[in-house]
Structure 1
Amino acid sequence: MSHADYYNQMPHDKNDPNPFLAIYLDQSIPFNEEAKAAYLKDCSSKSRQFLLPVLRPIARMFIILLQVFKIVVPKRLTSSRLLHRILYWGMRTFVSPDANYMILRHFFLGSEVLQFIRDNVPGVHVEMNPLKPTNLEPVKDDLFLIHDLNLYNFVINLNREIRAKNIEVSKQFPLNFGAITSTPIPIEQMPNRWTNFVDLTTAIECFTPVYQLFLTDNDFWRATNSLQLDETIGILASKIIGNNDRLALINNKHPMVPLTTLRAGFRLVLHGLATEQMHALLVELKQKQAS
């Protein structure tokens, strides 16, 4: 049974309606149906219901303690290679299949959204470094760090081109959807042992202090501040498609107002959902333009 079939075949009890069924059936937010169902199944897990309330405050306490530690010894215990080996081990051993599926989709979709913007700003030549993992092995090769660097480098290089060539980002027609995959993303089967039970939100909250520990203070701040670029990417895409109705769905707001690292885990979940929603909108527009 597919993730979508899980909800499509779910019976409805009017005296005890399932809140996740209501959200799944709602079509007001653009979202790939299979990914939406996987995410909502993950949200309804026992892990998120019982583990998250316990582990979130502990993880945030460690963020505060590590911030103090990094002030005193900013370069100690830093190793991106070791960090990503630990993340890979944690994802393979403890994270649920649905959560791993959503994480890998994020890298895939994020790369396509950036390339879509590049392809629809005539006159710019920005080198891309797309990340399209289909299994967990690429995590070991600095996948998370490269994802953050790609985002910053894209924004910097695109805007340098725009400034140097006096280009205005504007509505394009027809739109170039060559970068957007409208068929199922080819994510392989994820590990599904008895230990793979931790939901997406809980996993991110627990991984965040680990991320902080093995990165320099500068790298960790840069990574968390990258979440504020959601609105930047949303505005660029909205100018290109000529519609900004969906910008209200972006919750990581103004990039000139950096936030503290304390709620980075929660904001990272919002970042992932914003990417899913943007990509789903582009798939929808691609299909309409093709017809």
Structure 2
Amino acid sequence: MSDFLNEPHDPRDPNPWQALYLDQSTPLPNHVKHAWLTDSASSSRQYLLPLMRPIARLMIILIQVCKILLPKRWSASKLLHRILVWGLKGFVSPEANWLILRHFHLGAQIIEFVERNAPVSVPLSPLKPADLDALKDELFLKHDLNLFNFVIRLNQALRDEGKALAHLEQIDFSMIIEPPLALAAMPQGKMNWIDLQTAIEIFTPVYQLFLTDNDFWRAANSLQLDETMGVYVATILNTPQHLLLLNNKHPLVPLSTLRAGHRLVLHGLSTEMLHCLLSQMKANAAA
């Protein structure tokens, strides 16, 4: 892994990854930023991503055309998740796999944060996989379903009880913790070299192929709920300035699925930054 902190600085040839690591304008824990930038600085992202991204987007178009001929409800979600886990374990970098597993835990914690600090209570179905094999239980699909179900249940309950989210003086941060996942426990074989962004671009048309059009469209458009969840948290914390780093918006204007891979990366980064902000606030409140 790169040593961004102690790497010598050459003013005539500054390392852009070192600059991003040292920069403190974006809220990320050091160990997460280190893994993210190590993955981003890889040769896979530099040379393979520019090749795979246009191919993947072309495949999305071709699969969309082929779906016209397939039965509307045709899908093979269980097979899809077995293929995804096989690809993650066999070819994806340790940093990327670690960040993917973290995302499920962070997403579950953020949803629970909103629910615990809302004036109503709704049922939750947290997804916190302990390892890559746990993803075989259709967790990618369930992750998208959880988000939409939470937004629907929360707002139905708020409407039914005539209540609204509001800023709280005493905020419950108890669910915001560091996920119990070790980077060293991720597969580290010779073939585990594909970076996060390239892996997502490759997996996106595969995801589309094995799901119904409705499932794929919903998955792609769940990314635009980043702003929705951000507004919920900002309302509770009374910190609208934290919405500035969101990129997946506006939720009422659905975007093309062609850029779903890139937007998914932004979604993962936004989730990491929001969790970091909540962790910092929890520490400040405890102090």
Given the two structures, how large is their TM-score scaled by the length of structure 1? 0.95
SS in 2 for 1:23: helix
Match of 2:67 in 1: 70
Q: Output the amino acid matched with 2:182.
A: I
Confirm or deny that 1:52 pairs with 2:49: yes
Corresponding residue SS for 2:68: helix
Letter in 2 for 1:162: L
Structure 2 residue 141 is matched with structure 1 residue 132: no
Local SS of the residue matching 2:20 = helix
Do residues 167 (structure 1) and 163 (structure 2) align? yes
Distance in 1 (alpha carbons) for counterparts of 2:166 and 2:73: 46
Query: Does structure 1 residue 239 correspond to structure 2 residue 235?
Result: yes
1:262 aligns with 2:264: no
**Displacement of 1:137:** 1.1
SS in 2 for 1:7: coil
- Change in CA separation of 1:184 and 1:8 when aligned onto 2, cut-off 3 Å: farther
1:71-102 Cα shifts (integer Å, max 9, x gaps): 22144862000000000000000000000011
Alpha-carbon distance in 2 for matches of 1:51, 1:63: 18
Partner of 1:36: 33
1:143 is aligned, of 125, 139, 151, to 139
Which position in structure 1 is the counterpart of 2:13? 16
Residue from 187, 199, 212 that aligns with 2:182? 187
User: Structure 1 residues 16-25 or 43-52, which shifts more?
Assistant: 16-25
Shift of 1:284: 0.6
Helix, strand or coil: the match of 1:179? coil
Distance 2:90 2:73 in 1: 27
Gaps in structure 1 of 5+ consecutive residues: none
Contact 2:113 2:176 survives alignment (8 Å) = yes
8 Å CA contact retained: 1:170, 1:239 = yes
Tell me the distance in 1 between the aligned counterparts of 2:124 and 2:182: 22
Distance 1:78 1:170 in 2: 41
Alignment of 1:119 with 2:95, yes or no, is no
Residues 48, 178 of structure 1: alpha-carbon distance in 2 compared, 3 angstrom cutoff = same
Is this contact kept in 2: 1:135–1:187, CA < 8 A? no
**Is the 2:105–2:179 contact (alpha carbons within 8 Å) kept by the matching residues of 1?**
no
Q: Aligned partners of 1:74 and 1:14: how far apart in 2?
A: 60
Work out whether residues 104 and 187 of structure 1, in 8 Å CA contact, stay in contact via their aligned partners in 2: no
Spell out, residue by residue over 1:140-198, the C-alpha distance to the aligned partner (whole angstroms, 9 max, x if none): 110100100000000000000111111121111121001100x4643361001110000
SS of the residue corresponding to residue 78 of structure 1 reads coil
Aligned with 2:13: secondary structure? coil
2:211 to 208, 212, 215: 215
Cα displacement (A) at 1:135: 1.2
1:15, 1:185 → 2: CA distance?
41
Q: Is the 8 A contact 1:77 1:213 kept in 2?
A: no
The amino acid of 1:187's aligned partner reads: A
Q: Give structure 2 stretches of 5+ with no counterpart.
A: none
After superposition, residues 86-105 of structure 1 pair within 5 angstroms as 86-105=83-102
CA distance in structure 1 between the partners assigned to 2:180 and 2:28 by the alignment: 14
Identity %: 55
CA-based RMSD of the aligned residues comes to 1.3
CA distance in 2, matches of 1:21, 1:96: 20
Name the TM-score, length of structure 2 as normaliser: 0.97
- Deviation per CA, 1:26-48: give whole Å up to 9, x if none: 11111121111101010000000
**1:10 to partner: Cα distance:** 2.0
Aligned residue number for residue 23 of structure 2: 26
Between 187-196 and 54-63, report the one with greater CA deviation: 187-196
Note the C-alpha offset of 1:134: 2.5
Q: Is the 8 A contact 1:172 1:240 kept in 2?
A: yes
